[in-house]
Amino acid sequence: MRVSNWKKPRNRYAANATLLLLTSGMLLTGALTAQAQSSTPLADTPACSGPGAKVALECRTWTEIDAALKQGMHTVILPVGGTEQSGPYMAVGKHNRRAELLADRIAETLDRQGIATLVAPVIRYVPEGGTSPRTSHMRFAGTLSIPPEVFVRLVEGAAESLKAQGFTTIVLLGDHGGTQGALAQAAQALNRRWRGTRAHVFYVPGYYRVIPGAYADWLKRQGHGAEVGLHAELSDTALMLAADPSLVRQQALAAAPQKPGTAQGVYGGDPRHATAALGQRGLEMQVGEAVQAITAFERAAP
Ligand SMILES: [Zn+2]
């Protein structure tokens, strides 16, 4: 096994100097006597307030992160969002809010399974089209776009930073469809560069693919087939309602005189009958896909 600590979670993360000064032999004894109680180096450490705070990298001091790494934590999620128009009824931070919330849920689930996982800050700037002339989502106000090569370098820089301090499993989750190819490429390039080291970038395509795949199929079985489209339609809006309804203009959407179309930034489908209950199923599928993939990767890692 590349790293064995995650399989034997210690009883408590005791961040005191005495423990840190123990010899490796004594640490081994401690690990053997402490029964696995599904707590990891992140258990019972201070964190800031708000959802996901327990797993947020930003909520910890460098010394807390360093100590957790020394205790065997080695997994971090790098969520990638995007700031883009999503029609007249959803705020432009859609991907960022969902990426953060889902990464938190995934990390918390992994942590409960004995895989201590932190969540790095969401990457909110991604390629979204040209600025001159304005193309794709850049044709609408509120969208922020960066050149594709800048995006790849940004992801690489963040991943290199995490590797340098001791993380060995760097998970890439992309919430926006348009970044999937670049994330796969960045992972490939980094893994080539890191060959011979213990570090690996693990890009999880299923996190996104389940939305136009199994989730869309499920919505069709619920009788919503014609309302599922490509962007800002029923599935997208339902996911947002389940994740954070404050980003959806529900009253205006319900009162929409007609199906919003391409000119308004809604591509295919119809968002008017989206509900949080429908979206909940999709979020669960995304979390399930990612947790399963990351757990299998951790278990198979040489
Ligand atoms: Zn998108």
Ligand 1 centre from 83 Cα, in Å? 8
- DSSP string computed for 236-289: HHHHHHHH-GGGB-HHHHHT-SS---GGGT-BSS-GGG--HHHHHHHHHHHHHH
Ligand 1 centre from 3 Cα, in Å? 35
Ligand 1 centre from 297 Cα, in Å? 27
Ligand 1 centre from 96 Cα, in Å? 10
Ligand 1 centre from 31 Cα, in Å? 45
Ligand 1 centre from 85 Cα, in Å? 8
**Residue corresponding to tokens 């180096």:** 41
Ligand 1 centre from 207 Cα, in Å? 13
**Residue corresponding to tokens 């489908």:** 269
Ligand 1 centre from 59 Cα, in Å? 27
Ligand 1 centre from 199 Cα, in Å? 29
Ligand 1 centre from 115 Cα, in Å? 29
Ligand 1 centre from 176 Cα, in Å? 4
pLDDT, tens digit, 9 for 90 and up, residues 99-119: 999 999 999 999 999 999 999
Ligand 1 centre from 268 Cα, in Å? 14
Least confident of 15-24, 116-125, 244-253, 287-296: 15-24
- How does the average pLDDT of the chain come out, rounded? 88
* Helix (H/G/I), strand (E/B), else coil: 203: strand
Ligand 1 centre from 298 Cα, in Å? 29
Grade residue 14 by pLDDT with cuts at 50, 70 and 90: very low
Domains parsed from the chain with CATH numbers:
5-300 (3.40.50.10310)
**pLDDT of the residue at 166:** 98
Grade residue 229 by pLDDT with cuts at 50, 70 and 90: very high
Ligand 1 centre from 188 Cα, in Å? 22
Ligand 1 centre from 299 Cα, in Å? 32
Ligand 1 centre from 208 Cα, in Å? 10
pLDDT of residue 129 exceeding 80, the answer is yes
pLDDT, tens digit, 9 for 90 and up, residues 55-80: 999 999 999 999 999 999 999 999 99
268 phi-psi bin (left φ>0, alpha ψ -120 to 50, beta other): left
Ligand 1 centre from 25 Cα, in Å? 51
